[in-house]
A and B are shown apart, each in its own frame.
Chain A
Amino acid sequence: AQSVTQLDSQVPVFEEAPVELRCNYSSSVSVYLFWYVQYPNQGLQLLLKYLSGSTLVKGINGFEAEFNKSQTSFHLRKPSVHISDTAEYFCAVSGTSYDKVIFGPGTSLSVIP
Chain B
Amino acid sequence: DAGITQSPRHKVTETGTPVTLRCHQTENHRYMYWYRQDPGHGLRLIHYSYGVKDTDKGEVSDGYSVSRSKTEDFLLTLESATSSQTSVYFCAISEGGQRKNEKLFFGSGTQLSVL
Q: Could you tell me which A residues sit within 8 Å of B by CB distance?
A: 6, 9, 32, 36, 42-46, 49, 51, 90, 94, 96, 98-106
- Comparing B13-21, B41-49, B70-78, the segment that makes contact with chain A is B41-49
- The tally of residues in B whose CB lies under 8 Å from a CB in A reads 25
Q: Could you tell me which B residues sit within 8 Å of A by CB distance?
A: 31, 33, 35, 40-45, 48, 50, 56, 58-59, 90, 92, 100-104, 106-109
A103 touches B42 (CB 8 A): yes
Question: Please, which residues of chain B bring their CB within 8 A of the CB of A98?
Answer: 101
Residue of B nearest to A96 (CB): B101
Contact A103-B40, Cβ < 8 Å, known A43-B108, A43-B109, A44-B106:
no
Out of A42, A44, A90, A102, name the residue touching B45 (CB < 8 Å). Answer: A102
Cα–Cα distance between A14 and B35 once the two chains are bound (Å): 32
Cα–Cα distance between A96 and B35 once the two chains are bound (Å): 20
Residue of A nearest to B103 (CB): A46
Cα–Cα distance between A6 and B41 once the two chains are bound (Å): 11
B48 touches A100 (CB 8 A): yes
